[in-house]
Structure 1
Amino acid sequence: MGGINISRNEQDATGVPMAYEIVPATEATMAEVEAWLDAEESIYKTAIEAWEAGGYVGDEPPRGFRCNWDSVKRTWSEGNARVDILMVDGHAVGFLDGTDILEIRPDLRREGYGRLLADFMVDVAHNEGRSVLEIEIAPWTAEPFWKRMGFTVVPDRRGSGGGIYAYRILHKVYSLSDGERVSFSIQFYSEHERYRENPKPFSRFSGMGERLSDGSVQLPERAFCFEPIHSQHRDYFVSIELGGETIHFDKVKYETSKANGIRLDAGYTYFMDRITPLSSPD
């Protein structure tokens, strides 16, 4: 799959100017990455053997992503995965496998290269229209880095691969013109909470939107259905109010919700940028 070419001049951690580019992977750059992943894996095996022989004293040595590389390479070669390479002075110093894996060559870490790839990953997700960027942090030693990159760690949740779960909201804000203002409230509920006598939403978006000529209402910012403590594969409900009147209250995945403006983004998060009310309340 194709990537986005980015070429910039910045400074490294020592203040020395550096030219870099982030480009789609090629056979040559994939081979270069694999070579330093192999070297890293060899060092890890030696370290883990010493750690085990020493009675497991201290923290377990962190492992790189050589164990995942064959899968990454296969799906990339089949055209089913996106891999972008960070090139500095003609050398592959880091790679990004979509939003799943980011790694910098071990001897070049703490030079600012990880930030370049992480920023690139966020920009791509934002351009894809995602509302939330979710990641798994592994090894655990990378947690401080991702916190600095604006991600929130959820201590009680693990990702599907067993890594530390974290997320970053990708806010979408819209400029309104001078059209008629109408109050709105959009609330999202879990299935369990929906059937309580006085249900409480896990998220709520409210304010003043702009009524457009077609009768729809443009929101000043995106409303999205996201509950960080659980996987998104659940039956969530959405309540939509306009002018103080509830016009819709049903599951987000239903066609009636779609008719009222609910959409699904590239990250499989339900969201709403504009309310498109049906002719009569539900």
Structure 2
Amino acid sequence: MKYKVTQETELLNFLLEATSKKRNDLKKALKFNQVLVNGKSESYHAFLLHAGDEVELGKKSRQDLPFPILYEDKEIIVINKPSGLVSEQTMHNKSETAFMIVNGYLKKKKEKAYLVHRLDQDTSGVMMFVKNKKLYEELTHNWNDYVLERSYQAIVEGTIKKDGRIENYLSENKMQKVYVSNKKGKKAITNYHVLKNVKGYTLLDVFIETGRKNQIRVHMSSLGHPIAGDRKYGAQTNPIRRLALHANIFAFEHPFTHKTMTFKTEMPETFYKVTGKIKK
């Protein structure tokens, strides 16, 4: 269904007035990229609309999924997970998950999904599933041998002038909060490259050598530069109403074909509201 904007207003407010849908339903549609503004997906609830803009609601991807499929073949499927969607169910979170949605999609084709890695609930970006148990077991048992690159883009609070590397140990307390610990914890290595400083924030390219829970979030917080929107680890601001962390590159060597496979996504549009244009 398409709607024409007649005056300046915010996206969610416009949808509440133009449709008969409930606020929670509209928020879910925004989260799962089912709202288009002038033909382009928009997930930010406060996105500013102008007279003449066209808003389309209920637009799903061609695969009839609430998020884009970046790649699919007979053995793997790669998605662009939206922020706010849990990777898999846990004891503390029983909501709908990326795994449930992908597995449901594959079941229609008499296929099955296996989860080989995770993204934090509020992190968006590249996430891969495999379709057979043999590949799943090989990847999960020898993950570090096959993964070539896991890169992220992050907006952190404060100004970081130089590139850096963080290498320490992480542990988790009973409240599920991860913290820097002694050598009894798990070793974690994060490298970061400064892309841009702007108005009290820094845009970073982040490259991880280990994949610990909340690793980037804890490491940046330990520097005194928490990721914007990350109240759990000390952020004071939330400029885009979500965690400003996006998994933009995932590359691995296929265990059986030995082919290098690389998957990339663009930085979310909402990030540009803070960073402005980025020079290539």
Same fold? TM cut 0.5: no
TM-score of the superposed pair, with normalisation by structure 1: 0.29
TM-score (norm 2): 0.29
Report which of the two structures shows the higher radius of gyration computed on alpha carbons. Answer: 1
Greater helix percent: which structure? 1
Higher relative contact order (CA 8 A, sep 6+): 2
